[in-house]
């Protein structure tokens, strides 16, 4: 096994994990598939043909150490990240290799910054949480829209999803987050995360760029951007919005899981992420378009791994996507998976 190209995917048999394994192979990496279910890992290896299998339960530190031995990096795709992120990042720090995850859970990402930043700094090891559609993409867009500035009054992140067929993992992670916050809602305002029991805000209208146009959105549909963006940008408020149709899909218990419609295994879901940064009365906008929020996480996180291993980073230790990478260059490198419009 060539250590320079060996990357562990923890949670490789999950919906997003499979996309990540495929993207690693496409880019010439040698995936090591890991997770707690040895039988499912072996089935994935039989299907893929050229991956190494290393089962490891998240509560077995020795098994995690064996899973990461000789690897160049680890990507954690196994939710709920409230359970998996701590043990896997600690194993990565013991091994001295970069850790990335695709967590959308606000509490798990908050805990990552609070509990592991100092250890990552001392180890000089790159740790990038939320390197995914939620948290990572919005952070990159906001950072690119800032145009080199590090301060803003407000960052708006509007998600225009044509639909949302949640995976079982999404539903489980959502349930864990709901339980951890005691059913309260969360916002980022006045420079801090705030948990509250206020009545939900009424639906609003958001003028998305084409092809969506003006759409009803759920305001304060809070996602991981409220952790990643203010982790490195001086901003008083981060407001997130979700297209009403997608929010209703997620809320409905009978919404089916994603179904593949192309050779890449992507669903027919399309998205527009519209980020507007306001500072001193001036607004700057950055836009991303693509297909399938789960599938697009793979090029996002694998591009991040590639850049870390190549030394194309702006900092060391624990950092969000916008702090770790040249945001505009990173976003443009995602073509053809994601098309972007960035301010000049």
Bond into 164 cis (ω within 30): no
Report the alpha-carbon distance of residue 211 to residue 226 in Å, rounded.
Answer: 26
Using 70 as the pLDDT threshold, list the residues of the chain that sit under it: 1-3
Q: Which pLDDT tens digit goes with each residue over 316-336?
A: 999 999 999 999 999 999 999
* Res 1: pLDDT: 58
Q: Give every CB contact of residue 17 below 8 A, 6+ residues apart in sequence.
A: 9, 11, 33, 35, 77, 78
Short-list 172, 140, 173, 190, CA closest to 331: 140
115 CB-contact burial (10 Å; exposed 0-12 / middle 13-18 / buried 19+):
middle
Question: What is the SS3 string spanning 255-320?
Answer: CCCCCCCCCCCCCCCEEEEEEEEEECCEEEEEEEEEECCCCCHHHHHHHHHHHHHHCCCCCCCECC
Domains identified in the chain and CATH numbers: 6-132+298-324 (3.40.50.720), 134-293 (3.30.360.10)
H or E, element range at 122:
helix 106-123
* Res 227: pLDDT: 98
* Res 3: pLDDT: 67
* Res 288: pLDDT: 98
Q: Taking the mean position of all CA atoms in its chain, how far away is CA 231?
A: 15
């Amino acid at each position: 096994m060539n250590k320079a190209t060996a990357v562990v995917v923890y949670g490789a048999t999950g919906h997003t994990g499979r996309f990540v394994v495929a993207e690693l192979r496409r880019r010439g990496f040698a995936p090591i598939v890991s997770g707690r279910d040895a039988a499912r890992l072996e089935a994935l290896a039989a299907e893929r043909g050229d991956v190494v299998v290393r089962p490891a339960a998240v509560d077995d530190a020795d098994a995690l150490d064996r899973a990461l031995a000789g690897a160049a990096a680890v990507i954690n795709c196994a939710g709920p990240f409230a359970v998996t992120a701590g043990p896997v990042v600690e194993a990565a720090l013991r091994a001295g290799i970069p850790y990335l995850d695709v967590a959308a859970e606000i509490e798990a990402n908050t805990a990552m910054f609070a509990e592991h930043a100092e250890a990552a700094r001392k180890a000089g090891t790159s740790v990038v949480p939320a390197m995914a559609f939620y948290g990572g993409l919005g952070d990159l867009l906001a950072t690119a829209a800032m145009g080199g500035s590090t301060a803003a009054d407000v960052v708006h992140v509007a998600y225009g999803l044509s639909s949302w067929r949640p995976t079982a993992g999404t539903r489980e992670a959502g349930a864990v987050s709901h339980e951890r916050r005691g059913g309260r809602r969360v916002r980022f305002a006045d420079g801090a995360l705030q948990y509250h029991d206020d009545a939900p805000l009424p639906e609003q209208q958001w003028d998305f760029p084409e092809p969506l146009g003006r759409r009803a959105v759920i305001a304060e549909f809070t996602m991981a951007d409220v952790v990643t963006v203010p982790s490195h940008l001086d901003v008083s408020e981060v407001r997130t919005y979700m297209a009403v149709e997608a929010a209703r899909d997620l809320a409905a218990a009978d919404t089916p899981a994603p179904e593949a419609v192309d050779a890449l295994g992507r669903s027919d879901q399309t998205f527009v992420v519209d980020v507007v940064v306001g500072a001193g009365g001036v607004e700057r906008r950055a836009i991303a378009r693509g297909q399938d929020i789960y599938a697009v996480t793979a090029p996002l996180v694998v591009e991040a791994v590639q850049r870390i291993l190549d030394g194309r980073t702006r900092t060391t230790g624990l950092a969000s996507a916008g702090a770790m990478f040249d945001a505009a260059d990173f976003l443009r490198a995602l073509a053809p998976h994601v098309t972007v419009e960035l301010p000049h």
